[in-house]
């Protein structure tokens, strides 16, 4: 399932949740701590060329696969409208070299991309409350496994993100949530000790659906 379809499914779920009558729901307000548990699709958007150490084209591109995993987000409301959110989760991705008749798996890696965002929440007292945000993230690649005789090294680094989402208040302290982030991140990868290299521009679309609880 693509991240776009994943987000659409979440919007449909929220539409259904919004048709139900939420009784005595707790609104968002200053001092609220909200925990969101989500199912998240991470879909990198890149096909970067692989070149030799001298910069010559190889005709191959580095492609990074999608993954779906659970994530958590913790938001603290500084005011009724402004919140700071920290999200954490980890996903596993295949890295392939593709081009022409070539389609070979060269590496598998786990990625831990914590994101800290500042959000503005519209209509915090209402049952349906959309929000937007912007933040910073750090991409940490770990537990990598080289495949098919290749040795791949991917650099960690910082990126930034834009965010949009909506909360639908349910009964009591519970809510339903759809969240979409676009993460902008570029790094370097070397293959076989630098004999080949690529500029990896991941820029993943991170689409999530889940439930929240206010403390």
**Alpha helices for the chain (secondary structure H):** 3-19
Which CATH number describes the domain made up of 3-206+210-214? 2.40.160.20
Query: Are the C-beta atoms of 164 and 178 separated by less than 8 Å?
Result: no
Per-residue pLDDT of the chain (215 residues; tens, 9 = 90+): 555 555 555 555 555 555 545 568 999 999 999 999 999 999 887 677 888 888 888 888 888 889 999 999 999 999 999 999 999 999 999 988 888 888 899 899 999 989 999 999 999 999 999 999 999 999 999 998 999 988 989 899 999 999 999 999 999 999 999 999 999 998 888 888 888 888 777 888 999 999 999 99
What pLDDT, on the 0 to 100 scale, is given for residue 21? Answer: 53
pLDDT for 190 equals 87
Task: Give CA–CA dist 26/29, Å, rounded.
Answer: 9
Q: How far, rounded to the nearest angstrom, does the alpha carbon of residue 128 sit from its chain's CA centroid?
A: 23
* pLDDT for residue 48: 75
Counting Cβ atoms within 10 Å, is residue 16 exposed (0-12), middle (13-18) or buried (19+)? Answer: exposed
CA distance 171 to 27: 11
Q: Give me the pLDDT at residue 157, please.
A: 92
Name the maximum alpha-carbon separation found in the chain.
66
Report which DSSP code applies to 175: E
What's the pTM value of the predicted model, to 2 decimals? 0.81
Cβ-Cβ contacts under 8 Å for 118 (sequence gap 6 or more) = 82, 83, 84, 133, 134, 135
């Amino acid at each position: 399932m693509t991240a776009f379809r994943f987000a659409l499914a979440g919007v449909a779920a929220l539409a259904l949740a919004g048709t139900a009558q939420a009784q005595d729901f707790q609104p968002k307000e200053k001092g609220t701590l909200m925990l969101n548990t989500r199912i998240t699709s991470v879909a990198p958007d890149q096909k970067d060329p692989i070149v030799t150490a001298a910069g010559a084209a190889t005709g191959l591109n580095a492609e990074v696969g999608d993954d779906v995993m659970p994530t958590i987000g913790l938001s603290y409301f500084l005011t009724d409208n402004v919140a700071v959110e920290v999200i954490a989760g980890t996903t596993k991705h295949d890295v392939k070299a593709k081009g022409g008749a070539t389609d070979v798996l060269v590496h598998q890696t786990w990625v831990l991309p914590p994101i800290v965002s500042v959000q503005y929440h519209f209509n915090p007292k209402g049952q349906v409350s959309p929000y937007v945000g912007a933040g910073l993230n750090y991409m940490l690649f770990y537990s990598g496994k080289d495949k098919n005789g290749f040795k791949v090294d991917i650099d960690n680094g910082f990126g930034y993100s834009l965010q949009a989402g909506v909360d639908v208040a349910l009964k009591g302290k519970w809510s339903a949530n759809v969240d979409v982030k676009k993460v902008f991140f570029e790094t370097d990868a070397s293959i076989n000790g630098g004999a080949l290299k690529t500029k990896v521009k991941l820029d993943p679309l991170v689409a999530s659906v889940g439930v929240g609880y206010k403390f």
